[in-house]
Structure 1
């Protein structure tokens, strides 16, 4: 799902480029807001299944408490050092809480795929061990914006 961007169409990633990029990247930044309106941004590992961003978050974190109060979130994945190397994806919407809290490993068909992806990506395992401290958040974005400044040096 890609929301049309008014500016930067030349540097916008295609859906295939976005999916490949999100599958390769390891860390995202998650922005939440407190009941008083104070923003909070924290780094987190994630997986992308082609439709949703899955976040495996500590349930005793500021992020978790803020999302319980207000499930609106923005997630940014980006990289690059020099201006012409900058690229990234911003996804925003509302998270949903999936599975038991905290996650103990009870059967949950909805979590089978993201847990396999996460275990392989970060732990090199076939299945995810559960520490009873984390639980799953799913963001199926309402808006997706992307940029790849490397496209500026290529043909128009």
Structure 2
């Protein structure tokens, strides 16, 4: 995935690394290690292929952030998803196409990695693109597509629109590249909380 605007692909300890997760013991939070932890295009593709969902942010009617968890697919290198035509996110993106998508992984500091894609969303009624997204999402979350599955995909796409994200700035980070000693397995109350699902 590459940005097609003026932004650059960069790691982000400032925005999503050390300050977001808290610096590890003995490490200054002001150390700038962006270049060291930036993901390559191949590593970004690998991360997106493995995460189950992403957090998608649009701008609500009052200017507030509107965040939702989304299933998605990658079509021709772009993050794409389908949504109900009258959903709040679709209404938001038609009014203001600015969008941010976040995919992240890792349970402990030395394993955290992620990518945040900032750009503009293209909301489309194009049936060909919508179908490609529907099939890609089916295969990503359900299993191999065959013509026997067509009725199920068609049903899932009724009254839906396609959304393609045109990346303008990409931030990425992978704390595994820091070479830190292992923090061991995740601990704390979030691990034992009822209903917690492992990654």
Range class of TM-score, shorter chain: 0.7 to 0.9
**Higher strand content, 1 or 2:** 1
Change (3 A) 1:79 1:73: same
Match of 2:84 in 1: 58
- Aligned 1:77-96 pairs, distance under 5 A: 77-96=103-122
- Where 2:39 maps in the other structure, the secondary structure is coil
Residue from 148, 160, 169 that aligns with 1:143 = 169
Match status 1:117 vs 2:136: yes
How many residues of Structure 1 are paired with residues of Structure 2 in the alignment?
Answer: 147
Farther off after superposition, 122-131 or 59-68: 122-131
Q: Which runs of 5+ in 1 are unaligned?
A: 101-105
> Whose Rg is larger?
2
- Please provide the CA RMSD for this pair: 2.1
Q: Distance in 2 between matches of 1:23 and 1:50?
A: 13
Relative to the length of structure 2, the TM-score reads: 0.66
CA deviations 1:49-106 (Å, max 9, x no partner) are 3521001222232211211211110000011111111111111111112235xxxxx5
Q: Distance in 2 between matches of 1:60 and 1:125?
A: 29
CA deviations 1:10-36 (Å, max 9, x no partner) are 111111111111112120001111232
Match of 1:103 in 2: none
Farther off after superposition, 39-48 or 120-129: 120-129
Residue from 5, 10, 14 that aligns with 1:5 = 10
**Higher helix content, 1 or 2:** 2
Match status 1:69 vs 2:88: no
Q: Which runs of 5+ in 2 are unaligned?
A: 12-31, 181-199
Match status 1:129 vs 2:151: no
Change (3 A) 1:50 1:89: farther
